[in-house]
Structure 1
Amino acid sequence: MHKLGTNRNKLIVLILLFISTLCCLALGAYLREYTGRSIYLYLNWDMFLAWVPVGFALILDWLVIGLNMKRGARLLSVIPILLLWLFFYPNSAYLVTDILHPFIHYKPEPGIPFLFEMEFWHHLLLFFTAAVIGLLLSFYTLYSVQELVKGLYGRTISWIFAVTVLLLASYGIYIGRFIRWNSWDVFTRPKVLLTDLFTMLLEREQLLHIISFTKLIFVCLMLSYCVLIAITHLRVNKY
Structure 2
Amino acid sequence: MNNLFSLYVLNKKQNNFLIFSSIIALVLLLIRVKITHSFYLLFLIWNLVLAVIPYIISNFIKIDLSIKKYNFQNLFLILLWLLFLPNTFYLITDFVHLNHNNLIQFCFDFILLSSFTIAGFYFGMLSISTIHQQIDFFYTKKESTLFIITISFLCAFGIYLGRFLRFNSWDIITNPFFLIESIFNCLFENETWLFTLGLGTLITIVNLIYIKLKSNN
Q: Which amino acid aligns with 1:81?
A: L
Q: Do 1:170 and 1:217's aligned partners in 2 also have CA atoms closer than 8 Å?
A: yes
Do structure 1's residue 88 and structure 2's residue 84 form an aligned pair? yes
**Superposed, which structure 2 residues align to 1:107-122 within 5 Å?**
108=102, 114=103, 117=104, 119-122=105-108
**Superposed, which structure 2 residues align to 1:178-217 within 5 Å?**
178-202=164-188, 207-217=189-199
Q: Could you say which residue in structure 2 is the equivalent of 1:68?
A: none
**Superposed, which structure 2 residues align to 1:64-213 within 5 Å?**
64=65, 72=69, 75-103=71-99, 106=100, 108=102, 114=103, 117=104, 119-202=105-188, 207-213=189-195
When normalised by structure 1's length, the TM-score is 0.83
Do structure 1's residue 6 and structure 2's residue 7 form an aligned pair? yes
| Shift in Å, 1:92 | 0.3
Kindly indicate whether structure 1 or structure 2 has the higher relative contact order, using CA contacts under 8 Å at least 6 residues apart. 2
Q: Do 1:99 and 1:131's aligned partners in 2 also have CA atoms closer than 8 Å?
A: no
Deviations 1:166-214 (A, max 9, x none): 1111101111110110111112211111111122234xxxx10001111
Q: Which amino acid aligns with 2:31?
A: Y
| Shift in Å, 1:215 | 0.7
Pick from 202, 214, 217: which aligns with 1:220?
Answer: 202
| Shift in Å, 1:107 | 5.1
In 2: Cα distance, 1:148 partner to 1:75 partner? 16
| Shift in Å, 1:4 | 4.2
Identity, % of aligned positions:
24
Q: Which amino acid aligns with 2:204?
A: M
In 1: Cα distance, 2:185 partner to 2:18 partner? 39
* 5+ long unaligned stretches in structure 2: none
In 2: Cα distance, 1:201 partner to 1:156 partner? 27
When normalised by structure 2's length, the TM-score is 0.91
In 1: Cα distance, 2:128 partner to 2:155 partner? 11
How many residue pairs get aligned? The number is: 215
Deviations 1:25-57 (A, max 9, x none): 111111011001112010000000011110111
Match of 1:179, SS?
coil
The alpha-carbon distance between structure 1 residues 158 and 75, as it changes in their structure 2 partners (threshold 3 A), is farther
**Superposed, which structure 2 residues align to 1:224-235 within 5 Å?**
224-234=206-216
Question: Highest Rg: 1 or 2?
Answer: 1
In 2: Cα distance, 1:130 partner to 1:139 partner? 14
Q: Could you say which residue in structure 1 is the equivalent of 2:25?
A: 24
In 1: Cα distance, 2:8 partner to 2:53 partner? 19
> CA RMSD, aligned part only?
1.8
Deviations 1:146-173 (A, max 9, x none): 1111112332222221111111111011
* 5+ long unaligned stretches in structure 1: 66-70, 109-113
Q: Could you say which residue in structure 1 is the equivalent of 2:55?
A: 54
In 2: Cα distance, 1:3 partner to 1:80 partner? 28
In 2: Cα distance, 1:190 partner to 1:4 partner? 45
